[in-house]
Amino acid sequence: MSGPSVRRASHPDPLINPVRRTIRYWVTRIVVSVIIRGYLRMHLVDRDRLPDGPAIYCFNHMSWADPFVLLAVFPFRPRLWLFGPREEDMSVGIRNRTMSWTGTAIPFKPGKNDLLDATRRVAAIIDSGGVVAIAGEGRIHVRESELLPLSEGPAYFAMRSGIPLVPIAISGTSWLRFGGRVMVRVGEPIVTGARPSRAAVIETTAALTAALAAMVADAPDIEPPGTIGTLVTERFNEWPEGSRDAARAASEESRLAYSGPPD
């Protein structure tokens, strides 16, 4: 599957020497692949659905490891970028500094004040022939078969550049047990030929939601692992509710409210 013609564009991080940036990217992909594949059993399903050129990938989000799983399992070309994290200052904290060093992250500031700059950074990557992966839910959650509401960003970015929008379903990362089986399934690309009007973005987001929800609907929940697996999982997880237990309670409450009162 071919993508649009590639145009020359300014890089989203022009301060890094291009050669050094490329070396960092390849080192990151190789190291991450070795570590992730050494800890988890990885399976990529329907790889042939991945576009050969620029695209937007929208994936569900179960844990901090999901972006690294994608770096480990996807082909090295086209070059893969990760939209996020949502941080005010990427120079604060070891995780943020590490992600900045790798040259694979597209950080954006909290709120919508950074939307224009983020859009320009994504456009520059697409114009250079890269692909951008976005966690459409914007946060992690506890249930493998659950899909939280998706943001309109993936649809907007894809429609703005006229490139495919690809649903990516990850299962098996809610708990990171050594030797645990992780499956990454590639959905049918959604063609985004229309202009990114408000109505078109909403319609495309709905189609993306339906596709991704169907792909995760049969994913079984995973039993908690032992001490090491629990530590590896929770060490870098950031729960908006404050903890996994609180997130589970909120999910159950939301599920009951959605299903309506009992008969």
Residue 23: CB atoms within 10 Å: 12
User: Residue 5: how many CA atoms within 13 Å on its side-chain side?
Assistant: 2
Q: Which tens digit of pLDDT belongs to each residue from 105-151?
A: 787 765 555 677 788 889 999 999 999 999 999 999 999 999 999 99
Q: Which tens digit of pLDDT belongs to each residue from 20-57?
A: 778 888 888 999 999 999 999 999 999 999 999 999 99
The DSSP output letter for 190 is B
Instruction: Record the tokens describing residue 64, joined without a space.
Output: 């901090």
Domains of the chain (ranges; CATH) run 18-215+225-259 (3.40.1130.10)
The DSSP output letter for 15 is T
Query: Cα separation of 175 and 177, whole Å?
Result: 6
Pairing of strands 181-186, 165-171: antiparallel
Q: Is 204 in contact with 165 (CB distance < 8 Å)?
A: yes
Residue 228: CB atoms within 10 Å: 11
Q: Is 244 in contact with 251 (CB distance < 8 Å)?
A: no
Q: Which tens digit of pLDDT belongs to each residue from 146-199?
A: 999 999 999 999 999 999 999 999 999 999 999 999 999 999 999 887 788 999
Q: Which tens digit of pLDDT belongs to each residue from 196-250?
A: 899 999 999 999 999 999 999 999 999 999 999 999 999 989 899 999 999 999 8
